[in-house]
Chains A and B, each alone.
Chain A
Amino acid sequence: MRTLKFLLRKEFKQIFRNKGLLPMIFVAPVIQLLILPLAADYEVKGINISIVDHDHSTYSQQLISKVTASGYFQLADYGNSFQGAFKQIEKDKSDLILEIPQGFEKNLARESHEKLFVAVNAINGVKAGLGGAYLAQIISDYNNDIRMEWVQQLKFNPIPQIEVTSSNWFNPHLNYRFFMVPGILAVLITMIGAYMCALNIVKEKETGTIEQINVTPIKKYQFVLGKLIPFWIIGIFIFSVGLFIVARWVYGIVPVGSLLLLYGYMSLYLVALLGLGLLISTFSDTQQQAMSITFFFIMIFMLMSGLFTSIDSMPTWAYYIARLNPVTYFIEVVRMIVLKEAVCRHQKSFPDHGWFCCVSEWFGNLEL
């Protein structure tokens, strides 16, 4: 115990004296939390659309004004040749082409049936998909509008229609930030855990002080605890700052679930991540090496964690990789507890963290 006390005292002194590390620990997370949720937004607005109108009729004008009035689209080009519109796409000035055929109004009135052509620049898949979907919705809306017009004119009995209404639970206003902030909080903790811990241990290797520690009576577990505990505390501290100060006062997110469960889960998660840092430190001799290895893991962890893209829509193999990723579970847990008031039995992820903890700590210990 006494040895551990001396180790911890030394560790905290070193951390608070490290001019490079301190901003990383205390300033970077706040900045990230302030910027990322505002910037990383799925809602696509300002899609540039080129409209090729071969009809020039009242109906086509109505459709065009409906499209441009939706707020999602910006009219980039209006003309009557598809080639001209396609040039716009090639120059990247336009994302979508809506082609209205000749005789649009006539055919619609006479045959109650007409086809529109939509071409989408699919380089940016998200933008293309959403743009296409928005446009389809607007067109179907428009379709309903004119049908209603005719129904009234003809004084028929109303055609039975299925109307879908939806109510949004847990995030009623579909506020994207509510979804992102807990996720980013989780990622921040991940970074602190893996990065800081690995760098700190490797630094001792680099300066040679670990050699000195090896010849002292300090036991391995004492050294490891001396390294893990400070970052465990710092991780919890940063999480709390993020949750109670930034998330609450900037984004108005108040956790609805059990804080005890959230913190209990986070404590365990941090142990797993610190274990990863420990493991990485045993494989690297320099801080640069440790950085590169950690970067590799963090990249995969982030992109395969469901932070940005839902893991349910991944290919099966990728889904299983994501299921092995501890970050996936933590992001899920934070979102569920903060937004949904989930309780323990909803969480299937404890065994996963269990194995992750065990494996990484065990290897870390073994190699050190």
Chain B
Amino acid sequence: MENEKKIGNGKLKVENGENTFSIFNSQLSTVIKADKLTKRFGDFIAANEVTFEVYAGEIFGFLGANGAGKTTAMKMLCGLSTPSSGNATTAGFDVYRQTEQIKKHIGYMSQKFSLYEDLTVIENIQFFGGIYGLSDKHLKEKSNELIETLGLKNEAKKLVASLPLGWKQKLAFSVAVLHEPKIVFLDEPTGGVDPVTRRQFWDLIYQAADRGITIFVTTHYMDEAEYCNRISIMVDGVIEALDTPANLKQQYSATSMDEVFYKLARGAKRSE
């Protein structure tokens, strides 16, 4: 089985279940650009001169062992934490000066479930939609549509606390992309979720990518890493490798991403 998908100015090829992502145009548009981005906490360098680019429409896997500095890098890109040095833009906005603008154009979902458990499904959707500035009419359409797609019609008026974890995570993702952001940051979104739900979760991710939303995802599941167009692997605050999963396997003469990750992360000195 083979099919091709155009993403931005790049091309995603799925061959025998393997993704290859190739850039055939040098004018590929960049949504995240990090240049020697560094964050120090005292003597500790959490992220050391991190340099990479993420292109519009791709699914970018951001991998690394615990304590490698993924979350720190991600927080800087979201405008939550100010870098110590280096430059970066997210959705075209500067991470030092335009954090408000960045926040308007990104979605975010963390490993910790962070919708309001004491609000109902529909109230959560309306709250987050509302604060992103969706109009009442738009909000109503969107929330109905979302509840329909997620199959939560009977649960719409139930408190989120009563939903199973997998459903909560799917809901959280859908809420994070409700305002059609340019990029959505997912911080270990599938932690603790069963394989079937994880698969469904990734279907949602692909749907969002089809709509042109760039996905920036961190994960510890190597099968999920294979779903990404390109991945970077961070070790001790530095990006050690960055390429498509297929190229990485070739480069490290490994049969699986597991092996690639192991070869790279084995040398790590830091751990949580």
Report which A residues bind B (CB closer than 8 A): 2-3, 5-7, 9-10, 13-14, 17-18, 207-209, 211-212, 214-219
Contacts and interface: CB of A to CB of B under 8 A. Distances in A.
Contact of A17 (B78, B80, B103, B118): B118
Contacts of B126: 6
Interface in B102-119: 103-104, 106, 108, 110, 112-119
Contacts of B116: 10, 14, 207, 209
A218 B127 CA distance: 12
B100 interface: yes
Given A3-B130, A209-B114, A211-B110, A216 B123 contact: no
Nearest to A210: B114
Contacts of B114: 207-209, 211-212
A182 to B, nearest CB: 36
A212 B123 contact: no
Contacts of B110: 208, 211-212
A215 B108 contact: yes
A6 B116 CA distance: 13
B131 A218 contact: yes
B123 A215 contact: no
Interface string B229-252: 000000000000000000000000
Closest 7 CB pairs of A and B: A6-B130, A208-B112, A212-B114, A215-B108, A217-B103, A217-B104, A208-B114
Given A208-B112, A212-B114, A216-B103, A13 B132 contact: no
A29 B119 CA distance: 27
Contacts of A18: 118
Nearest to A17: B118
B20 to A, nearest CB: 32
B133 interface: yes
B131 A217 contact: yes
B100 A209 contact: no
B128 interface: yes
Given A10-B119, A14-B116, A216-B128, 17 more contacts: A2-B133, A3-B131, A3-B133, A5-B130, A6-B127, A6-B131, A7-B131, A207-B114, A211-B110, A211-B112, A212-B108, A212-B110, A215-B103, A215-B106, A215-B108, A217-B131, A217-B133
16 contacts: A3-B130, A6-B131, A13-B119, A13-B123, A14-B118, A17-B118, A207-B114, A208-B114, A209-B114, A212-B110, A214-B80, A215-B79, A215-B103, A215-B185, A217-B131, A217-B133
A3 B126 CA distance: 11
Contacts of B131: 3, 6-7, 216-218
Q: Which of A7, A18, A208 has the most CB of B within 10 A?
A: A208
A296 B17 CA distance: 62
Contacts of B104: 217
Q: Which of A14, A209, A215 has the most CB of B within 10 A?
A: A215
B159 to A, nearest CB: 8
Nearest to B172: A212
A3 B130 CA distance: 7
B80 A215 contact: yes
Interface of B: 78-80, 100, 103-104, 106, 108, 110, 112-119, 123, 126-128, 130-133, 185
B132 A10 contact: no
A9 B185 CA distance: 27
A279 to B, nearest CB: 22
A11 to B, nearest CB: 10
Contact of A10 (B80, B103, B127): B127
Contacts of A212: 108, 110, 114-115
A366 to B, nearest CB: 15
Q: Which of A3, A5, A6 has the most CB of B within 10 A?
A: A6
A214 B119 CA distance: 19
A3 B110 CA distance: 22
Contacts of B80: 214-215
Contact of B115 (A3, A14, A209, A219): A209
B128 to A, nearest CB: 7
B249 to A, nearest CB: 33
Contacts of A6: 126-127, 130-131
A14 B130 contact: no
Given A208-B112, A208-B113, A208-B114, A215 B78 contact: yes
A6 B130 CA distance: 6
A216 to B, nearest CB: 5
A198 B108 CA distance: 26
A6 to B, nearest CB: 4
A6 B128 CA distance: 9
Contacts of A207: 114, 116-117
Contacts of B78: 215
Contacts of A217: 100, 103-104, 131-133
Contacts of B115: 209, 212
Nearest to A14: B118
Nearest to B109: A212
A303 B205 CA distance: 58
Contacts of A219: 100
A14 B127 CA distance: 12
B75 to A, nearest CB: 9
Contacts of A3: 130-131, 133
Nearest to B80: A214
A217 B130 CA distance: 11
Contacts of A13: 118-119, 123
Nearest to B103: A217
A179 B205 CA distance: 65
A9 B118 CA distance: 13
A220 to B, nearest CB: 11
B119 A14 contact: yes
A302 B108 CA distance: 44
